[in-house]
Amino acid sequence: MSTSSTPAPLASPDPAAASCRIGARGISRSFGPVQANVDVMLTVRPATVHAIVGENGAGKSTLMRMLYGLDHPDSGTVVIDDEEVVLSGPRAAIERRIGLVQQELAIIPELSLLENLVLGDEPAHLGRVDWKAARTRADELAASVGIEIDWNADAARTSIAIQQQVEILRLVYRGADVLILDEPTAVLAPAQADELLRLLSSLREAGRTVIFISHKLDEVLHIADRITILRSGRTIAEIERGEVDRAGLAAYIVGDSEVPHSEITRGTPGEVVLRIEGVSADDDRGIPRVDGVSLELRSGEIVGVAAVAGNGQEELAESLIGIRAVSGGTIRLGDDDISSRSVRARRRAGMRYVSADRKHEGLALTLSLTDNSIATPGLTSLARAGWLRRGAVAERVSSVLGRAAVRFGSASDPASSLSGGNQQRVVLGRETSGDTRVLIASQPTRGVDVKGIGYIHDLLRRARDEGAAIILFSEELDELRELSDRIVVLHRGRISGEVDGSSSRAEIGALMLGEHHGDAAS
């Protein structure tokens, strides 16, 4: 615990001289019967941004973990600076100046951003941290990539975008020259993602090498110098910048299997089901986040909600289903005031919820698919005198999983055995089964691949056509435009405008930044 050194200067053997800064030579890796990587080849040239694309479960994260020494190939080797190496663990990777930002950020919420930055390599004298030196170094780092960070802020109080920037800077602080980012933009709003891409560009200009995984083909085409496509654990192609367009890339990713292509249909709004009247809500720290939102939802329509992250959309979604108390206003379902009803009562009345936090609120990952499919207040209809009827349970499970076309082995497998996209389909299958009057869907396609997104969109449209009133919270503007009958935009907890579902990105984007242009935009 005593080593505390300043980051080493760039290693003397010129890394730019190597044709392959980091890569894979014939790597295979299996987990039980599942082949995550099969004979994968990867060559990342120094000082480039290299994108890795592929469906969920294509083996991208497994490959990244091996490049960072968190996992080890069954056969084949990792290549660093044209040399075949064995990485015994992350320490070995760090020594070779490789850093990884995983999907779960290694930011410690209880510490300040500055503490997070220097943690493990603090400038110190006799065990006493030199916070002044740390601060100077932090400011230099931020300035070198052209961003500003309030280093004294508690990490818990900062947005995920800033936490991510700090995590990237931490790798640079520790001397990393190769930065591996696992789906960094999946959790970012469009503006934040743009900022991240700029940060990556400036890292590349400074001579660092960036590998990043993304499902967002536009940003991949925008920033990557080179793209590697993985499918079912195999390298399908390595493409230079400009050699492929969006459609071509999508075709590489899904291969022969069909891209589910649904025509865009709009809903036929019926009568008003849910009336939101002047609703306000606070976040966990008591800070007001939703400020007097009024909205009506009609059966058979999808109302999209667009907002930059942190503008109250999460709190609004949670207060609609009742996980979060409203601090003002009323919510009416039909003629009933449900503002202070429990989640259970709301669900019994036909309200359903798809949480943005699939892993914690959407599913119980360690429980079986069966348990996850039937775990609703409607469970009692499957029981007689408190005993679950096997036949009825099996029927419900196959209807839920069948509705969502979930690909699974056995219904007794844990939910964690499914890929992210399939997990989310279980949630949507469950939440759209039965008599759904109102569906609150929060970021339903977050971290889901192209094909999975198609299925989820179909499920939402189907629920709409069956008469549900759907409120869709999404950070993907294209998704909102494709699905919504109308889009309301939240800015600082207030509705800054309402526009038609087919409005342009620019129009919605302006409202997201709080630019009112005439009050009656719809």
Partner 1 sequence: MNFDLLLASAITLSVPLVLAALGGAIHRRAGIVNIGLEGHMILGALIGAVVSGISGNWALGALAGFIAGGFSGLLMNVIITRLKGNEIIVGLGYNIVMFGVIGYVLRAAFGVSGTLQFEGLQRMPKIDIPVIADIPVLGALVSGKDPLFWLCIVLVPFLAWALKATTWGVRLRATGASEAASASLGLRTLGIRDGAGIVAGALAALGGVALSLGTVGLFNENMTAGRGFVALAAFYFGRSRPLPTALACLLFGFFDALQIRLQTVGGFSPDIISTLPYIAVVVVLAFTGIRQSRRGARALS
Question: Residues interacting with partner 1, by CB under 8 A?
Answer: 1, 4, 90-91, 94, 102, 104-111, 115, 118-120, 122, 124, 127-129, 131, 170, 284, 318, 322-325, 340-344
Smallest gap from residue 127 Cβ to partner 1 (A): 5
Between 171 and 460, CB nearer to partner 1: 171
Smallest gap from residue 449 Cβ to partner 1 (A): 25
Q: Is the dihedral of CA 386, 387, 389, 390 positive or negative?
A: positive
Between 306 and 438, CB nearer to partner 1: 438
Between 116 and 484, CB nearer to partner 1: 116
Question: What span, in angstroms and rounded, lies between the C-alpha atoms of 279 and 259?
Answer: 40
Smallest gap from residue 124 Cβ to partner 1 (A): 5
Vertex 45, ends 43 and 47: CA angle to 5°? Answer: 150
Question: What span, in angstroms and rounded, lies between the C-alpha atoms of 491 and 514?
Answer: 6
Between 160 and 392, CB nearer to partner 1: 160
Question: What span, in angstroms and rounded, lies between the C-alpha atoms of 72 and 76?
Answer: 10
Smallest gap from residue 433 Cβ to partner 1 (A): 24
Strands 124-125 and 128-129: antiparallel
Smallest gap from residue 145 Cβ to partner 1 (A): 20
Between 134 and 512, CB nearer to partner 1: 134
End-to-end CA distance of the chain: 61
Measured between alpha carbons, how far is residue 389 from residues 235, 333, 374 in Å?
A: 47, 32, 12
DSSP 95-156: HTTEEEE-SS----TTSBHHHHHHTTS--EETTEE-HHHHHHHHHHHHHHTT----TTSBGG
Question: What span, in angstroms and rounded, lies between the C-alpha atoms of 330 and 139?
Answer: 46
Question: What span, in angstroms and rounded, lies between the C-alpha atoms of 474 and 400?
Answer: 24
Between 5 and 12, CB nearer to partner 1: 5
Between 135 and 341, CB nearer to partner 1: 341
Question: What span, in angstroms and rounded, lies between the C-alpha atoms of 512 and 491?
Answer: 6
Q: Is the dihedral of CA 511, 517, 520, 521 positive or negative?
A: negative
Tokens 């069966």 found at: 370
Between 107 and 438, CB nearer to partner 1: 107
Strands 272-282 and 288-298: antiparallel
Smallest gap from residue 404 Cβ to partner 1 (A): 28
Question: What span, in angstroms and rounded, lies between the C-alpha atoms of 281 and 323?
Answer: 11
Smallest gap from residue 356 Cβ to partner 1 (A): 15
Nearest residue to 342 via CA among 320, 322, 313: 322
Smallest gap from residue 337 Cβ to partner 1 (A): 14
Smallest gap from residue 22 Cβ to partner 1 (A): 18
Question: What span, in angstroms and rounded, lies between the C-alpha atoms of 342 and 319?
Answer: 11
Smallest gap from residue 406 Cβ to partner 1 (A): 29
**DSSP conformational letter for 368:** B
Between 55 and 167, CB nearer to partner 1: 167
Provide the greatest CA pair distance for the chain: 75
Backbone phi and psi for residue 182, each to the nearest 5 degrees, phi listed first: -95, 105
Between 240 and 336, CB nearer to partner 1: 336
Between 7 and 509, CB nearer to partner 1: 7
Q: Which residues contact 276 (CB under 8 A, 6 or more apart)?
A: 293, 294, 295, 296, 297, 320, 329, 331
Question: What span, in angstroms and rounded, lies between the C-alpha atoms of 28 and 78?
Answer: 11
Q: Is 159 exposed, middle or buried (0-12, 13-18, 19+ CB in 10 A)?
A: middle
Between 170 and 451, CB nearer to partner 1: 170
Smallest gap from residue 357 Cβ to partner 1 (A): 13
Smallest gap from residue 286 Cβ to partner 1 (A): 8
